[in-house]
Amino acid sequence: MYKREAIRHCRDCGAAVAYRLPDDGDTKQRAICTACNTVHYENPLNVVGTVPHWGDRILLCKRNIEPRKGKWTLPAGFMELGESASEGAARETTEEAGAQFIMEGLFTVMSVPRVGQVHLYYRARLTSDVFDPGHETMEARLFTEADIPWDELAFRTVKETLEHYFVDRRADHFGTHAFDIA
């Protein structure tokens, strides 16, 4: 089970917190402020991205940042406060690949409990094959299924999403795939 670094101080008043069961019947220990009794919840982070496609090719980005610098990935990153999942996925695709595209439907939803994350990927139809990658990307390039550097993919969620994409493309029907990654 994933554990982030423990909360030590209240985000509202700055006093110390103690981990205990809240008085409201909750069954999980929470960080509760010892001064103002604010309950602090720790929830998974959302990673949002796209599967950008151009004909029979997929756009991948070579990472210029850790973790997994130098490995290939779909454009994705952490969702920001104040944006929807699809807005975050579009933002990440623009920032990382400098791609022009039209957002399509939600494609994969993967819970990754061991790292405290939920990954959501949307299909995105590219409207140009010209890219202007940002500083987090060494290179943005289109790949056919046969040319994807499968052994050089940065994350299992990317591999799983790509595998589902190509199965659906061969079937000429795209669904939404939801599953857990242990």
Q: What's the angle, vertex CA 1, arms to CA 40 and CA 28, rounded to 5?
A: 35
Q: What percent of the chain has pLDDT over 90?
A: 94
Residue 104 backbone phi and psi in degrees, to 5: -120, -155
Alpha helices in 105-155 (DSSP H): none
pTM greater than 0.85 (yes/no): yes
Q: Sketch out the chain's domains with CATH numbers.
A: 1-42 (2.20.70.10), 45-180 (3.90.79.10)
pLDDT over 70, % of the chain:
98
Q: What is the mean pLDDT of the chain?
A: 96
Cα–Cα distance for residue pair 21/15, rounded to 1 Å:
18
Query: Region 78-102: what's the mean pLDDT?
Result: 98
CA atoms within 13 A on the CB side of 145: 12
Mean pLDDT value across residues 156-162 = 98
Q: Nearest 5°: CA angle at 155, between 151 and 158?
A: 90
Range 23-37 average pLDDT: 93
1 pLDDT higher than 60: no
| φ/ψ of residue 124, rounded to 5 | -140, 120
pLDDT in tens, 49-79: 999 999 999 999 999 999 999 999 999 999 9
**Dihedral of the CA atoms 7, 13, 16, 18 (nearest 10)?**
-70
- Are 141 and 60 spatial neighbours (Cβ–Cβ below 8 Å)? yes
Model confidence at 2: pLDDT above 80 = no
Give the side-chain half-sphere CA count within 13 A for 18. 7
CB 179 within 8 A of CB 136: no
In this structure, of 5-19, 87-101, 150-164, the range with the lowest mean pLDDT score is 5-19
| Average pLDDT, integer, range 122-134 | 98
pLDDT at 54: 98
- Tokens in use for 133? 């990658």
Mean pLDDT of all residues in 127-146? 98
Model confidence pLDDT, tens digit, residues 77-88 = 999 999 999 999
- Residue 4 scores a pLDDT above 80: no
Is pLDDT above 80 for 29? yes
Which two structure tokens, joined as six digits, stand for 172? 């000429």
Question: pLDDT value at position 24?
Answer: 87
